[in-house]
Every structure is written in C-alpha cells, then in structure tokens.
Structure 1
Amino acid sequence: MKTEIKQRLAALRAEMKKYGVDAWYISGTDPHSSEYLPKRWETREYISGFTGSYGLVAVTLDKAALWTDSRYFLQAKEELEGTGIEMQKLRVTDAVSPDSWLSLNLPAGSKVGLDAQSLTADAFRSLQKGFLKKDIELVETPDLLEVIWEDRPAVPNDKVFELDVKYAGVARPEKQQKIAAELASFGADIHVVSMLDELAWLYNLRGSDVPYNPVFTAFAVIGENESVLFVDPAKIDSELKSKLEADGVEVKDYTTFYNYLSEINGKTIYIDPSTLNSAAYSALSGKNELVEGTSLVAIQKAIKNETELEGFRSAMKKDGVALVECLHWLKQTIGKETITDYEFGKKLAEFRVKQANFKGESFPPIVGYKSRGALVHLHIGADDALPLEADGVVLFDSGGQYIDGTTDITRTVALGAVSDQFKTDFTLTLKGMIGLTQAKFPYGVKGCHLDILARQALWENGMNYGHGTGHGVGHFLNVHEGPMSIRLEYNENLMLPGQVLSNEPAFYREGQYGLRTENMMVCVERETTEFGRFLGFDTLTLCPIDTSLIKVDLLSDKERKWLNDYHQWVNAELKPLMEDKYHKFLDELTAEI
C-alpha cells in the first residue's frame, strides 16, 4: 500500500504540472461537506492511505502533508509511515495551518490548485487570505484525481425512500413554510441547501449513499413558492416522485445544479458559506445579493419535535436492551473462550439487529482494549485484532440507526483487575459527565460556556482531553450534526430546547489505557424566573455505568445520588423489555453505591 501511495502521488504531480500548479489542496470532503463519504469522494484516503474521518491534504511537487486533529494523531502517524507524507496537527495551540505550511514550502508567485466543488466557500476564503501575505495564487482546477484514479466509484444510485410522517413528526410542506418564514425575516427569496442530512430532513426522505448515514446525494433550492430537489432521477421511483410533486417539490437531475444556479439573477439568496461549496458560491455571486449565515435548515433540524424526541426515547430503550445483553454475553464468555476486540465490535451489532426497526450501525464501532483505548477513534479489522482477556478494561463506542432515532454511546467496562490510578482517572472523568448532565444555565448560553463543567475535575488535577465534549445527533440521520456543539472552541450557535447532544468527557494515557463515558441528552426548559429563562439537560441514554471502576469517596453526595437515580431509572425502563435470564445481571449492574 505504501508503494501504491507513492505511485499515486507521482501521478498527481504529473497532472499538477499539466495545469501549471505548484501544489494541490485536498479538502478531504465532497461537494456536500460530508464527514462520512460516498466511496467516490474518499479522496483523502485514496491519496494518503489515512482512514480517519477528518483530515486535509496538501501536495507540492516535492512534499506532501496531511492535517488531522487529536482524535487521530496516533493513527495518522502509523498509517502515513513510509508514504512520504508528513503528519501535521490541527486544533492544537502550536498547529501550523495548511496555508502557513504551503507558504513556507512554496516561493512567492506560486499557484495552489483545488477542486472548487469539494471545498466550502469559507475554506476557500480562509486559504486565499492566508496566501495573500505570500503572493500565492489560489486557482480552481478540475478534479485532478478523476484522471489518475482508475475504476473510481460512481456517484451512488441507490433508491431513496420516504420517512413516514409518523416518525418525522412534521410534513414536507410545513417544513418548507417554516424555512420560508425564516427567509422572509432575512429579506431573502431562496435558500440553497447542500448538506445531505439537511436535505434528508427537509424532504422526509432517507437513502443509503453514505456508510452509516441514511442520506442520499442531492442539492436543493427552496423558497416560499419553490422547492427544487436536484437528484439522480434513477434514485426516485415514480410513486415517490408523484408524492413529492403533490407536495410542490420539483425534481431535477443532480448534474444540472450548477447550471441552474448560474441562471439565477437579481435574487436575494441565503447561503451557509461554511457548508456550501465554492463552485456553487461562485455560480451565484456577482449577479445576486447573498445573505450569509448558519443554514436555516440545520438550525430547524437540530431542534427535535415531540415525535422525534419520543422516537429517540424508544430507540434508547432498544439500544439499552441490546447493550446489556451484549455485556452479559461478554462477561459470560471472557476468560472461557477466545474473543477479540474486533469480534466484540461485531457482537454489538449482532445484539442490536435483534431490536425492532434497526437499520444498521450509526458509525463503525470503536473498541479499545488496554493500551488501544488511548487511540481515540481506533478502527480495527480482523487482521489486527487483539484477544480480550480477563484483565484490564475495554472501551467501546458504538451506535445504532433505528427508524425512530439514532444512538451513540460509550462505556468503559472492567474485564479484570485495574490499577488504583485507573479508578481515579475514571472517577474524575465521570464527575465531568455528571457535571455537564446537571448543568442549569440561562437562555443565550453557548456550548463553549458549558465545556468547563465536563473538564473541571480533570483540570483541577492537571489533566485534560484533546477532543470536544458534545456534538449534536440527528434523528435517524447523521450521528454527528451541528450547528451547535459543546467544546472549548467558540461556536456562535446557542443551546436550545429540543437539541439532542452527546456528553462524552474522556481521558487517555498514551501506551496505557483510555476511558470515556458517553450519554446522549436533550436540552430542555427548566424554569423562568425574574432573571430570565433557564435551561438544562435530560439524559436519553439507558445503559449501566461500571461502578466497579469508581472511587466512591471522590464523588460528592450530589454526584452519587445522580448515579444511583440514573441506575434506578435504567433498571426500571429496561427490565420489562428483557428476558428473565438477564434480570439478575441488570440488578447487579445497577446496584446502589
């Protein structure tokens, strides 16, 4: 594979020379700013061999670099070894940005090429701004990989299916009118929508173009009196097309999108430059007035309606049953039969499959045993699996797609003896998870204001973790969604009632172990006082937390009460749904401390 990567880099450099560019920039995404990608747009993996879900690549005529964040530092280092591609860190204080690295490695007057369809308008501007100081020109080229990538996969043409309004909660026309009302408040005529999960939500449709995310490849233009869905016609059967047309949705071919945009003239158009690609932006600018802001669809989608929230609660019960059954299997099997971390990941899915309306995993399972737990987004195959033994701990982060909701959960469980240090680390991290769960805060608070609650106990002990604390979760959609988040970095989007988020503080000791406890929660109204509206979080996830790993004397009375109340709730919700043979095991897992 390393030799293959070198050959691909050589072929790319030959194409770069044809177009007179001194470097080529790969955003690592597709024309829809997706995190998980259709095979066609797995350009970062194709050119570098790096398999993580986040990263950027820059290739000059004699050097190459890949940037990723702390989730993947160890993985990237291993996967890039011997390829001639150096790893650069992102989202850390001493990070060297791609534009800085290119400015250092290119002489003044150089040209950096890119595929404008696979780079957001914001990213294009940011690069351009960085290059101005060094007199480096950013130029649009065709997708150079199209020539060198033999047997490159086509855009998927799997069928799109409808999500019944009994699960979606709100019909298509009503969603359109909500967006139209928001557009009117900005004085805008239409909104260009390019994110796949936004389109799936907006039209109550789902697909299978992207692994783990039930989305389909499309664009849309929506306003008060127009709703145009650009999608491969082969993906929409005649019955569904008739239903869409009855709801005022015009279906046009996916390939006509850019031409359609170029013919819009004299309109006020709302766009999200952080997700709309640069080619689409260029097609609109100059002859229209552009209003920029967070996608109106993303904001609406993040605030779940009552039907969606009930769906999440239903999915959590099913997920909890599956996980307790899987833990029972693990405890019965460990030390008696040989099982690997890879096989355990497969078992998680096997137990979920037994649940009603299960539609697949929401992301590849992450199973970290012993020192592998310190690899934050580790993905292992059958070839590099390790046997699990009755010793130490295993961290597993996994999730399910159910037609009524999406789940994401991490638990760290003991398989045998653990050190006193581990128990301290586990408890300090758990204190953070409980602290964020119990937060009560005034309306207007953003995720960066709350992040400290998850880190405080760690910080007090000179400890920290490098990733975010909470991300939005879609409803039978992407397991990672915005626009809000809970992390140290500033995000202007508020915490709002109805938003569903993860809560996942963690701690990692490189070469020793990693630990993480993750629940999902929903933002809710708490009370209104003379000082304003106050919000909080209600937990959604139903699964025991391993109390054998806790140093009880490090928990406050309030924290201990929360944990005991949580376990009582888990027991009460799950026991009626489980076979009798699991009841004693569930009682043990949820026993009071």
Structure 2
Amino acid sequence: MAKKELELLRELMKKKEVDICLIPTADSHESEYPGAHFAARRFLSGFTGSAGTLAVSADWSGLWTDARYFLQAEAQLTGSGITLYRMGEEGVPALEEEISVRLPRGGTLAYDGTVVSRRLGADMRRTAERRFGRILLEDLPGQIWEDRPPISSEPVFELDMRYAGQSRTEKIRKIREQMEAAGAEAHILTTLDDIAWLMNLRGNDVPCSPVFMSYCILTLSAVYLFVQEKAFSRELREKLRGDGIELREYGGFYEALPAVCSGKTVMLDSGKVNEQIFGVLEPETSIVDCPNPSELLKAVKNETEADNLREAHRKDGLAVTKFLYWLKKQIGREEITELSAAEYLENCRREQDHYLEPSFTTIAAYGPNAAVVHYSATEESSAVLKPEGLFLVDSGGQYLEGTTDITRTVVLGNITGEQKKHFTAVLKGMLALGDAHFLHGCRGTNLDYLAREPLWAMGLDYKHGTGHGVGYLLNVHEAPNGFRWKMVPERMDSAVLEPGMVTSDEPGVYLAGKYGIRTENLLLCTEAEKTEYGQFLKFEFLTMVPIDLDGIDRTEMGPEDMDRLNRYHRQVYKTLSPYLEGEELAWLKEATRKLV
C-alpha cells in the first residue's frame, strides 16, 4: 500500500500534468548528508539511507540505491508500494533506462533543479528528449510538505591557523593559479566542504559535517561568499572583508550569477553544481567543466593537518579503547543494547578535548544486524548484546584536530570456527593494504587487491569499496582518493595517491541473516625512498585501537601477517599507554600482546 505522502504527490502531479517526478538524495550543494530541510526522498519513501534516488509516476514508484543499503532498503520499503532497484546488480535497469521506458511519449519529467546536479540533469534531459518529452524544474515535494524544517543557520567559526596550517588568502591564490591555467575568469563553487576548506571556516548546518550553507564565486580579482550573515559574528565578517572577501546573502546567489559571470569563461564541476545554476547563466557563457581545484588541494593534507590528525586519532583511539574495555568487562553483567553501546561510545568521545560531534551516525550492529553494511539501530530494532557472537561498531568523530573513522568487530563470547576464519581473512587484508609499498602514480584500483585477496581466495567478497578519502574536520567521505577494484559512476574516487592523502582501509565479510565483520583503520600516505625507478610511497596507520585477538585463527596467519599485527599493536600500546592506568592499562597491555 502506497504511503499517503506519495498519494499527495501524485495528486499534485496530476494537477500539473507531470508524468514522472524525480527526487534525489541531495541538497543544493550535492552534500552526502543533506540537512532536514532537504530530506524530501526520506519524507516520501521512509528510506533513511544516505544514498538513493526515488522516481514516482501515477501507478509506479522505484528507489535506486547501492549495495550498502540493499537489506536496509528492502526492510524499510516493505508495504510502501515502492520497488527497490539494486544498483549494479545483474539485470537491474539503470535509473535513466527505467524512466525512458515509463515516460510516455510527449510526457513531462519533473524535478527540483536546485537539488539535481547538472550531470544527472543532462542524463534526464536526454532521456526526456528521446521520448519527445519536456522537463519541469519545480520542487513538487516541497509543495505538499506542510511541516518542512527550515534551512539550518547555525553559528560559523574560524579554523585557527594552528589547525588549518594555511591561510585562506594562500588557498585562494592557488585556486586562481589553476583558473588562469585553464583560461577561466570566474569559478563557481557550491560544495560546502570545498568552501569551508577554502575559507578556513566551519559550521554546523549539515549533520556530522562541520560545514555551513554557502555558495562562492571567485574571479581573478574578487571573491563573493553567499552566506546567511546572521550565522557570522561581526568580528568574523570584518576579518573576511579584510581578506578581500565580499559577503552577500545566501538567497541572492542565483540572482547574482548573471551579473558576475556574464560574458566570462566560467570554471565549474557539472557533477557538483545544480541544474538551476545553468538555468540562470547567460547562454553565451563559456564553461570549463572540470573537477574543482579545491578537491585535490584539500585532499592532500599539509604538515600541520597531518600532525593534528595524529593527535585526533590518539584521542579517538583512547576513547574507543576505553569503550572496548568497558564492553568486554560488562558484557553479560548488565543489559547492553546496540543503542546503549553507541551512547557509551559517544560519551567516551565527549570526554576528549576539542571533540565536536560524530563524523557520521554510529553503526552499532550485533549478530545478523551486522550483515547490513550501513545498519542503523532504532528503538524497535536495537538488539540486546549477549556474551556470545560478534558485535560490529563503525564510528567516528569530528575534532578540531581532524576527522576520524574506525570499525572494530568485537568478540563477545564463543564464536564459530567459520567466524574466526572470516575475521582473520578480513584482518589479513586490512593489514596487507596498510603495509603496501608502491610507486607514485598508483591509484586505489592498483592496490585494492591487497585487501581482497584473502577473501577472494575463499570465494568471498564485499560489495563496497575498500576505502574512501577522509576530510580534515570536514566530510568523512571525501573525493578524489579511494580503494576499489572497479570504477562505478557514482563514486569518482580513484585519483593518483599523493603524500598527505588520508584513506580508509576497511575490508569486510557479510553473511545475510548470520553476521558481519569489518575492520577499519585510516591510512596516511607518506613518502618512502626515491630510486632510479621513481618515488616510492607507503602508508602510516593513523588509527590507534587494539584489534580483538579473540577473533583470530592463528593457523590462518602466516609469519608476515603475524609480524604486521604485532608491529601495529606495539604502536597502539606505545601511543595510548601513557594516558591509561590501573585496570584499563593492564587490559590494553593484554589486548596488544605479541602473538607467536
């Protein structure tokens, strides 16, 4: 039975003579985790995952999402009348293919032009043209959403140079150098993390990402920053103006575009800017379509950021280690649920200096729930942890010193030989990738096999990338670096790996209805030796948290695997032991003991 919200949308579509309405998971800035104001897809479908696109017609509706959310979407869409389309699976049509089939000849396809990227919009336009149809850029869901939350406008703060390591004027200079090299006279920047990085500012307008609602236009002589000025103190506004940045109201961005960009050659990323921008630019505007220069610049952390990240992971490692000690000690002695465990972990992080918020919603999953890759516990689903089986917790924090992301699978009691074998294979893959030694020029696609090989040898795999880039006090998922064995259109994350890039290393095993295992560390790419063959690179583990030795099948560990684990645990103990005492210190020593 269709949700009442879908029926209200269909009534409006009928009045406006719309055949299909497209609702993506996006805000006006292509943020991964849009704020509540932009959660139209969730409002209409009930699906709470962070990725997915909904399409609705008079007698059909479908939702496309990736493998991380197959099980979650299947459960949440039950009874909604919405068909689940599992992206990337054999025989499953792509979004544009299905719309092309279902859009009547001469029909109308509608979507909000401010939340659909130019790249997706171009695909939809071609689809409509093939059916001799038309596009209507209109926010239909917003017209039936009576209690829609307002756009967030939380206070904005400046990131001090001891954290940023580089001034905004220097960053602007580097962007302009690339503009000039590309022959561009203006640059439109709409992605919130790029703007926050460029301006050395942070906010709180998007869940788990310390960014603020904004647009930016750079020319070779001016910088226009469109923001909600009420979120800026007078002192901060004056400092920005002193650096040559002209503040304008957030709502005036589209009106200003023609005046600032008319007759100019404009640099932008069509995969990041929205359709509405192209709708208001003058037709004669010349476009340089390329990745935002800030994407690569911010991915390569400077020395100050790298040093701060080590400190952030020391504090985060301390918090997670205290949590693991508590969990191991209290399991079976008191009732612990997925939700209460996540809350305890959050409290451990709050005890650390300069902690701000989680970097994403904690995944705390016991038993079969851990087989759902991006499981999110609710009051209804939250399982009680028992002194048996496996508990997976994937979490992270935002600190002034940087962003963290870590997964540990914890043995709560007796586990099977199969579980130990899978736990060990995942661990071996994670350690092998972290120990990689490779020539500059390699991409994540070149190295992904190191993490998957122990699982592929067993005929197993996992349907997500092995790793993603991580921002500095920004988005926990950051392009352009990553690890995956094949490229997928929705994840452009296989850039050449550069010293200073931070990437997650997180292989896993997921057996539906049984259990899930994932072990994740963050890696900092650093220089190794330079020889006649070129510059070699390596990784440094940033994450400093013990790996549960109770899950390891030692017969599956070769001498090299054992050495890698022991070296890692020596570093964990050296890093954390000065900050622990008593029973916690004794537990850490045992948890990082040498395996032979």
In the other structure, the counterpart of 1:239 is 235
Structure-1 residue corresponding to 2:572: 570
Corresponding residue number in structure 1 for 2:303: 306
Secondary structure in 2 aligned to 1:427? helix
Once residues 223 and 529 of structure 1 are traced to their aligned partners in structure 2, the CA distance between those partners, rounded to angstroms, is 42
The structural deviation recorded for 1:136 is 4.9
CA separation in 2, counterparts of 1:398 and 1:83? 30
The aligned counterpart of 1:526 is 528
Q: Distance in 2 between matches of 1:381 and 1:455?
A: 32
Q: 2-side partners of 1:532 and 1:381: how far apart?
A: 51
Aligned to 1:421: 418
Between 520-529 and 538-547, report the one with greater CA deviation.
520-529
Aligned to 1:228: 224
Provide the residue aligned with 1:435 in structure 2.
Answer: 432
Amino acid at match of 1:250: E
After TM superposition, the structure 1 = structure 2 runs for residues 301-380 of structure 1, keeping only pairs within 5 Å, are 301-380=298-377
Q: Is the 8 A contact 1:69 1:90 kept in 2?
A: yes
Where 1:123 maps in the other structure, the secondary structure is helix
Matches within 5 A, 1:88-127: 88-127=85-124
- The AA in structure 1 aligned to 2:428 is K
Match of 1:384 among 381, 384, 387: 381
Alpha-carbon separation, structure 2, partners of 1:270 and 1:539: 36
1:558 paired to 2:560: yes
Alignment partner, residue 504 of structure 1: 506
- Assess if the C-alpha contact under 8 Å between 1:371 and 1:511 holds in 2: yes
Equivalent residue for 2:263? Answer: 266
Cα distance in structure 2, aligned partners of 1:41 and 1:253: 19
The one-letter amino acid paired with 1:58 is A
Per mean C-alpha deviation after superposition, the further-off stretch among 572-581 and 502-511 is 572-581
What is the deviation of 1:131? Answer: 4.5
Aligned counterpart in structure 2 of residue 16 of structure 1, from 13, 17, 30: 13
What letter corresponds to residue 403 of structure 1 in structure 2? L
Output aligned runs, 1:117-196, within 5 Å. Answer: 117-132=114-129, 134-196=130-192
Contact 1:112–1:136 (CA under 8 A) maintained in structure 2: no
Given that residues 311 and 405 in structure 1 are in contact (C-alpha distance below 8 angstroms), is that contact kept between their aligned partners in structure 2?
A: yes
Q: Could you report, residue by residue, the CA deviation over 1:183-228 in whole angstroms, capped at 9, with x for unpaired residues?
A: 1111112211111111111111111111111111111012332111
Q: Which residue of 1 aligns with 2:43?
A: 46
Worse overlay, 68-77 or 425-434: 425-434
| Counterpart residue number, 2:207 | 211
Distance (Å, rounded) in 1 between the aligned partners of 2:118 and 2:137: 15
Alpha-carbon shift at residue 138 of structure 1 (Å): 4.7
1:257 aligns with 2:259: no
Secondary structure, aligned partner of 1:423: helix
State the SS of the aligned residue for 1:461: coil
Q: Counterpart of 1:117 in 2: which secondary structure? A: coil
User: Is the aligned partner of 1:580 residue 2:576?
Assistant: no
Within 1, Cα distance between the matches of 2:347 and 2:241? 39
State the AA in 1 paired with 2:67.
Answer: S
Q: Is the 8 A contact 1:99 1:131 kept in 2?
A: no
Give the residue type in structure 1 aligned to 2:346: A
1:458 to 455, 458, 463: 455
Measure how far apart 1:456 and its partner are. 1.3
The answer (yes or no) to whether the contact 1:352–1:358 under 8 Å persists in 2 is: yes
Query: What code does the residue aligned with 2:196 have?
Result: A
Residue identity matched to 2:214: A
Summarize deviations over 1:415-443 as a string: whole Å, max 9, x none. Answer: 00110001111111112111211222222
Tell me if the contact between 1:19 and 1:141 (Cα under 8 Å) persists in the aligned partners: no
- Kept in 1, the 8 Å contact 2:109–2:128? The answer is no
Deviation at 1:478, TM superposition (A): 1.1
- Contact residue 52 and residue 76 of structure 1 kept, 8 A: yes
- What is the TM-score when the length of structure 1 is the normalising length? 0.97
* Alpha-carbon distance in structure 2 between the residues aligned to 1:224 and 1:580: 60
Partner Cα distance (2:91, 2:124) in 1:
18
CA distance in 2, matches of 1:534, 1:394: 38
Structure 2 regions of 5+ residues with no counterpart? Answer: none
Pairwise CA distance, 1:539: 0.9
Deviations 1:471-490 (A, max 9, x none): 11111111111122212333
CA distance, structure 2, for counterparts of residue 402 and residue 513 of structure 1: 31
C-alpha distance in 2 between matches for 1:170 and 1:12: 48
1:66-85 matched pairs, under 5 angstroms: 66-85=63-82
For structure 1, list consecutive stretches of 5 or more residues without a partner in the other structure: none
* Residue 448 (1) aligns with residue 450 (2): no
Q: Is the 8 A contact 2:387 2:412 kept in 1?
A: yes
2:506 corresponds to which letter in structure 1? E
C-alpha separation in 2, matches of 1:304 and 1:130: 41
Q: Distance in 2 between matches of 1:282 and 1:309?
A: 41
CA distance in 2, matches of 1:553, 1:547: 13
**What SS is found at the alignment partner of 1:118?**
coil
Q: How many residues align?
A: 589
Residue 532 of structure 2 aligns with an amino acid whose one-letter code is E
SS at structure 1 position matched to 2:98: helix
Structure 1 match to 2:400: 403
Q: Report the Cα distance in structure 2 between the residues aligned to 1:462 and 1:455, rounded to whole angstroms.
A: 10
**Larger displacement relative to structure 2 (326-335 or 391-400):** 326-335
Shift of 1:130: 4.1
Q: Deviations over 1:307-340 (max 9, x none)?
A: 1111110010101111111111112211111111
- Provide the secondary structure at the position in 1 that maps to 2:114: helix
Q: Secondary structure at the match of 1:87?
A: strand
**Inter-partner Cα distance in structure 2 for 1:151 and 1:310:** 45
Q: What is the deviation of 1:280?
A: 1.1
Q: Does the residue aligned with 1:210 lie in a helix, a strand or coil?
A: coil
What's the CA shift string for 1:363-402, capped at 9, x where partnerless? 1110111111101111112332211111011000001111
**CA distances 1:96-153 after superposition (whole Å, capped 9, x unpaired):** 1111112222332222111111011111122333444x42535132211221001211
**Aligned residues: percent identity?**
40
- Distance in 2, matches of 1:230 and 1:146, equals 23
- Alpha-carbon distance in 2 for matches of 1:223, 1:404: 31
Q: Once the two structures are superposed, what CA deviation does each residue of 1:211-255 show, in whole Å capped at 9, x if it has no partner?
A: 111111111012332111101121112111001000111000111
